[in-house]
Structure 1
Amino acid sequence: MATRTAPVDYLLQLADDALVLGQRNAEWCGHGPILEEDLALANHSLDHLGLARLLYQHAATCIEADAGEQARFAHLQGARHGGVVTEDTLAYFRDAREFRNHTLAELPHHGPLAGPARTDRDFATTVVRNFLFSALTVPLWTALQDSADAQLAGIAAKSLKEARYHQRHAGDWLVRLGDGTDESHARTQAALNHLMPFCQEFWVPSEAEQQAVASGTGVALSSLREAWNATVDAALAQATLQRPADGGFVPTGKRGVHSEHMGFLLAEMQSLARAHPDAVW
């Protein structure tokens, strides 16, 4: 029986989520509220980066094996020496419209800031975002272990343990902050109110997701909604936080239409590689 592979854009969607969220968590390096959390978030960032590398490598192999995909990504083949698409070209030489990550992953570490705000990092926002995201990735990687794409199934099995740790870590902090002081509770509730609407994008399938589901290589995120809701509601109850009502604009990051924050994130992340495109790392 012929080996099936997931659609390239589906692999990129998974990889982009990992890379962009890893980049955001890395921004806490040297700025954590305590040393232990500074190191923990840096390690989480490395976990996400390692996952992104595996997925980009798989996507690059699929591109090289398909003439149509080679033509679609031809603009990247001259970005670095060798003239082939690699994990580096996929990460560092695509523009914002080519990224397929959920908008939630790219948001900065704060909600709307007041004019006199003295910092652009809010630990509660990071905790809430990491929890909401990991509550999705745990059932996602669990389900993807049965993917018809054997390579993706292996990546899922490897990533599941890390995703479970990320969920436990963020969940512990969610309860500590939500059920803590009046200030920590208020800031965590505000972060939840700000971020929860972006989770609606989880349940609106992209074309790549639909293709992956049809081929047996991917998972419909809508099938994970009940499990996600149960995990989130249980944690919020323990943290004495009120879940805001669903509603508002549904983001479109996984269709390539991103928030205004994405360009700034990529400019910082990609600047070195673009300044020295022929360098060997």
Structure 2
Amino acid sequence: MTKDLFEFCCRMGDNTLVLGQRVSEWCGVAPVIEEDIALANMGLDLIGQTQLWLGLAGETEGQGRDADRLAFHRDVWDFRNVLLVEQPNGDFGQTLMRQFLFDAWHLEMLKALQSASHDQIAAIAEKSTKEVTYHLERSSDTVIGLGDGTEESHARMQAALDLLWPYAGEMFTADAVDKAIAEQGIAPDPASLRPAYDARLAEVLGEATLVRPVDDFAHQGGKTGVRHTEHLGHMLSSMQFLQRAYPDASW
């Protein structure tokens, strides 16, 4: 039970950590200042959620590792994030499409976790739901605006959807950890979130005049640590440099 709970908390925390880092890469270089500020705030929200999830993971593990040590002192093969969140930013449309595909899942998961049998998880989910509700509202509106915008913006959004869609299915694939956590009443079966997710996608993509890919092939391996893309290693080399170069430094 302890090992499964630790893995689950790492999955939730690594998702928000990696995506928060990715989103923060836009700080100072976004298309307009409003987007710069909005993306930075979303990144801060995600990093704040990371502290809660990885903090609970460290408590559960009981080996003296806090949220910072789990974030900055694990190697790439120890990360449990889904492959979707580690994909590069690409252009602004690709960033927001990635955000939308994740947000739509994230909100459904958090809403379900508010009824978790684990009090701390329920509390984290309740707090995070308020932030992610805004994230999804914003990413949905942007996908619609760009998808149903100019010929150029529409083409870029369709290309982003086609590129990222093969990474979405991993979020709904259950393994032994998911099954064990579901049996304890802590988290839902990932597959149970798919109908609401598909309904949300149909609504938003319809307004955006974008076509959902027919093929539901899903890359897997991220949340089990079996396989990550080369992009995660490059990202971690930058994110973890200071803590690796100066272990246990304080300021």
TM category, shorter: over 0.9
Structure 1 residues 192-207: aligned runs within 5 Å: 192-207=161-176
Residue 278 of structure 1 deviates from its aligned partner by 1.9
Deviations 1:118-140 (A, max 9, x none): xxxx0000110101101001111
Tell which deviates more after alignment, 175-184 or 54-63: 54-63
1:226 paired to 2:195:
yes
1:6-56 CA-to-partner distances (Å, cap 9, x unmatched) read 710000000000000000000000111100000100000000000000111
**5+ unaligned residues in a row in structure 2: which ranges?**
none
In structure 1, the gaps of 5 or more residues are 65-69, 71-83, 111-121
- Conservation of the 8 A alpha-carbon contact between 2:58 and 2:65: yes
In structure 2, which of residues 229, 248, 251 is the aligned counterpart of residue 278 of structure 1? 248
Q: Give the counterpart of 1:108 among 55, 70, 88.
A: 88
Using a 3 Å threshold, how does the CA distance of structure 1 residues 145 and 249 change in structure 2: closer, same or farther?
A: closer
CA distance in 2, matches of 1:148, 1:213: 10
How far apart are residue 109 of structure 1 and its match?
1.4
Mapped contact 1:205–1:220 kept (Cα < 8 A):
yes
Match of 1:92 in 2: 72
The corresponding residue for 1:117 is: none
1:153-199 Cα distance to aligned partner (Å, 9 max, x none): 00000000111100000011001100000000000000000001111
- Give the one of 12, 18, 34 matched to 1:36: 34
The 1:249/1:222 distance shift into structure 2, 3 A limit, reads closer
Q: How does 1:106-255 map to 2 (within 5 A)?
A: 106-110=86-90, 122-255=91-224
Amino acid in structure 2 at the alignment position of 1:17? N
Residue deviations 1:95-148 (CA, integer Å, cap 9, x gap): 1110000000000012xxxxxxxxxxx000011010110100111100000111
1:262 counterpart residue number: 232
Mapping 1:40-59, distance limit 5 Å:
40-59=38-57
Give the number of the structure whose alpha-carbon radius of gyration is greater: 1
Inter-partner Cα distance in structure 2 for 1:5 and 1:154: 21
Question: Quick one: which of 15, 18, 21 aligns to 2:16?
Answer: 18
Q: Is the 8 A contact 2:3 2:61 kept in 1?
A: no
Distance 1:8 1:22 in 2: 21
RMSD between aligned residues? 1.4
Structure 1 143/188 Cα, relative in aligned 2: closer, same or farther at 3 Å?
same
- Poorly superposed stretches of 4+, deviation over 3 Å: none
Q: In structure 2, how many angstroms separate the alpha carbons of the residues matched to 1:160 and 1:235? A: 20
Using structure 2 for the length normalisation, give the TM-score: 0.96
TM-score, normalised to structure 1's length?
0.86
